[in-house]
Each structure stands twice: as structure tokens, then as C-alpha cells.
Chain A
Amino acid sequence: MMDVYERRCRRLMRAYPPRFREHRGEELLGTLLDIAVPGQLRPSLRDSLDIVRGGLRARLRGRPPVVQWLLYRLFGRLVSDRYRMWVRDDLRGRLYIVYALIPRVMLIALMLKAVDDLALIPSGVELLSRWIFPLSYSLGIWSIMATRRKACGRYDLEDVDAS
């Protein structure tokens, strides 16, 4: 049975990354139940802010360094193995498609634009400029699918469906 206090704690604990909640969530919740006085309906403002801050810090601590992160986002280069759980959470995230697709599509569109501007395509062929968006979009989708497959293989992750 879950009471109001517990439900509110669990909601606040969503500030923590899933990997933390799986491993330590029940323990953190146990401590939050311990500090509650009988009949308390919600954690105090101070405790609530403390949980959220702790969660955001845990997210920051588990992140790959910025260069690795950029290469991963833009080119799908995998980060070192110690961040595999971060990658798993990233692939499972509800907004994964947004985080992953936007930088990829932008990068591909820029590259296609450069190819177009440098007139590497014979004049008279206006195919590229007209198709630049749908082409970058499809290549972007293809590219993040490839990254996802590669990540699942390398980090040995099962079932990372974004659902």
C-alpha cells in the first residue's frame, strides 16, 4: 500500500537518473520514510529541494566528459564503458529521439549544404537543395538506429526500447 507521503517522495525521486533509482531508490525511500513524522503528508520544502538537488547532482556525476558526450551525440561514437548505464538510460529516455535526432539531422543537413555550395553536384541538378531536409532526416534516423544497435552490442544492453 502506498500512502500520499510515499507517492510524493517517489515523484520527487524522479530527479534521480533511472540507474540510481533501480539500485538505490528503495533505500533512499526508506530513509525518507524514516525521517517522516507520523501523519506527515508531504516532505518538507527543505527536504524536497534537497532530494531534487541530490538527483540533479547524481545526473551530472554520471555523465560522460563533454568531448565524449559531443562525439556520441553528433557522430554516434560510443563513450567509455564506465558510462554504459548512462547510455542505457539515454537510449531508454522518453526524449531520446529528440536529443539524438536534432543534432544528427542538423549536422547532416550542414554537410549536404556544404556539398551543394561547393558545387560538387553538376549544375542543373537541383535534386539536393530540394531534398536536403527529407534526406538529412532519413539519414539521421538511420544513423541513430545504427548507434543504438552498436551501443546495445558493445555494452551488452538488452531491451532498450524507448517505449
Chain B
Amino acid sequence: MALREQSYLALLALSDGPLHGYGVIKAVQELSEGRIRLGAGTLYGALDRLTTEGMVTVVKEEVVDGRHRRYYGLTGQGREVLAEETVRLTRLAATAQRRLRLQPGMGA
């Protein structure tokens, strides 16, 4: 199953351990080298979907300085899907590199 890039990055962000919403936004920004800053609406849409599909689960809730926070963690299934998707992307990138090397005008 192919994941959307934002879902893939959100899962990847959670692979190091549970994070709250803002934590996921920051982690995704780092992982994408500043290219992607998830908006809050997009983030919660993705988290909702991933939760419904059983890839992510709420592990902790707390209130810090009057701000409500839920921490999300990867489930076993989430980790599995993340690993599968990573293999798929790696294969795709390898194929892409091979093709580019074969192309004339690329020093070949």
C-alpha cells in the first residue's frame, strides 16, 4: 500500500518514540529538510486516518501550561507499513539512479 508523503513522514517522525502534534510538525520539518511544514488541519487529518487504520495510537494525554496534548505512538502495524514503504522507496530510488546513469548526456 502506497502512503501519501505526509503520512509517510508522520509515521517516520513517530518511529523514534511518541510525539505530540507540534512535535510531529517539527520532526517532519527536519526530516524533509525544511521543505514540508504540516499545517495543523492537515496533521490532524493524517493522524485521524492513521489512527483509524490502526497504524498510530494515542499513548498519553497531558495538559502543559493550559495546553492539551496527546502523544501519538506507532503501533506494530504502523512500523511494518513504514518498513515496507521504505523498501519500496529505496527500490524506486535505485531504479531511478540506474536509469539516469544510462541516459546519454549524463557523462555516459
Interface residues of A (CB under 8 A from B): 24, 26-35, 46-47, 49-55, 57-58, 61
Closest CB of chain B to A24's CB: distance in Å? 7
Identify the closest chain B residue to A52 (Cβ).
B41
What total of A-B pairs shows CB separation below 8 Å?
59
The interface residues of chain A lying within 8 Å CB-to-CB of B70 are 27
Partner of A34, one of B22, B42, B44: B22
Residues of A within 8 A of B42 (CB): 50, 53-54
Q: Is the interface of B mostly helix, strand, loop or mixed?
A: helix
A30 to B48, CA, bound (A): 17
Report Cα–Cα, A29/B80, bound state, in Å. Answer: 31
Contact A27:B22 (CB < 8 A) given known A51-B40, A58-B45: no
Instruction: Offer 16 A-B interface pairs, CB within 8 angstroms, sorted by A.
Output: A24-B44, A26-B68, A27-B68, A28-B44, A30-B69, A31-B21, A31-B25, A31-B43, A34-B21, A35-B22, A47-B39, A50-B40, A51-B40, A54-B42, A57-B45, A61-B48
Beyond the given pairs A28-B40, A34-B25, A34-B67, 14 more chain A to chain B contacts, judged by CB atoms under 8 angstroms and listed by A's residue number, are A27-B21, A27-B70, A28-B44, A30-B67, A31-B43, A35-B25, A51-B40, A51-B41, A53-B41, A54-B41, A54-B44, A54-B45, A57-B41, A58-B45
Contact with A along B64-86 (1 / 0, CB 8 A): 00011110000000000000000
Q: In which size bucket is the chain B interface?
A: 10 to 19
Binding site for A on B (CB under 8 A): 20-22, 25, 39-45, 48, 67-70
Give the complex CA separation of A59 and B43 in angstroms: 16
- Main SS class of interface, A: helix
Report B44 CB to chain A, min CB distance, Å: 6
In the complex, the answer to whether B39 meets A27 with C-beta atoms within 8 Å is no
Instruction: Point out the residues of chain A lying under 8 angstroms from B40, CB to CB.
Output: 28, 31-32, 35, 47, 50-51, 54
Chain B residues with Cβ under 8 A from A26's Cβ? 68
Pair B39/A46 contact, Cβ less than 8 Å: yes
Which residues on the B side are within 8 Å of A47 (C-beta)? 39-40
B68 touches A29 (CB 8 A): yes
In the complex, what residues of B have CB within 8 A of residue A34's CB? 21-22, 25, 67
